[in-house]
Amino acid sequence: MSRYRGPRLRIVRRLGELPGLSRKQPKHAYPPGQHGQNRKKRSEYAIRLEEKQKLRFNYGLTETQLLRYVRRARRVKGSTGLVLLQLLEMRLDNTIFRLGMAPTIPAARQLVNHGHITVNGRPVTIPSYGCRVGEVIGVREADGSRRLVENNLQFPGLANVPPHLEFDKAKMTAKITGIVEREWIALRVNELLVIEYYSRQA
């Protein structure tokens, strides 16, 4: 299944607030479609599916990618749901978004794809790159790159930079000092239901 490229507010109306997908607020609070206002009670499967879709659309993943992350999280000691969220939060495109260098995760992915971002001084063009503790993320020493990020920093997607990131706005560099804690994950999601959804596949 390919990455979603359709109307974003339609997804926000269906799943709720997705800070990584869009900064805009929908005009209507109910789900889209002819029967959006007359939604009946959902089954347990539908609830788990919705939580899984929140992760997919917020972080911009394909179904295959998300399943791969779930399998990786299962191999790590500790709470599988928390480990899954930490793996997704430590992606390079999400880290750029959390620093305020891009207004959304799709915009951050574009910055990375176009070679504007460096890790430990070397350009990285893979948005799914898993950032590690101690690595330094920066902006390429080109006028266009720095100007682009400076404009984005004036209107960041989220107001606060999480404490596991140390950001120097003057130098446009950030150091990863730890792993993100659960309370600093902006997305409202029940990760345990996501793990339950994948229990037969992972």
pLDDT tens readout for residues 31-90: 665 455 556 677 888 889 889 999 998 898 999 999 999 999 999 988 899 999 999 999
**Low-confidence winner among 25-29, 80-84, 177-181 (lowest mean pLDDT):** 25-29
Please give the pLDDT value at position 39. 64
Please give the pLDDT value at position 1. 45
The pair of structure tokens assigned to 152 is 């984005």
The sheet carrying 165-168 orders its strands as 122-123, 117-119, 136-139, 173-176, 165-168
How far is residue 200's CA from residue 130's CA, in Å, rounded to a whole number?
A: 26
Q: Which helix (H) or strand (E) holds 118?
A: strand 117-119
Same fold, 8-87+186-197 and 91-178: no
Cα(first)–Cα(last) distance of the chain, in Å? 18
pLDDT tens readout for residues 37-47: 556 677 888 88
Please give the pLDDT value at position 44. 86
* Confidence (pTM): 0.85
Q: Residue ranges per domain, the chain?
A: 8-87+186-197, 91-178
| Domain 91-178: homologous superfamily in CATH | RNA-binding S4 domain (3.10.290.10)
- The class that CATH gives domain 8-87+186-197 is mainly alpha
Task: Answer whether residue 107 shows pLDDT above 70.
Answer: yes
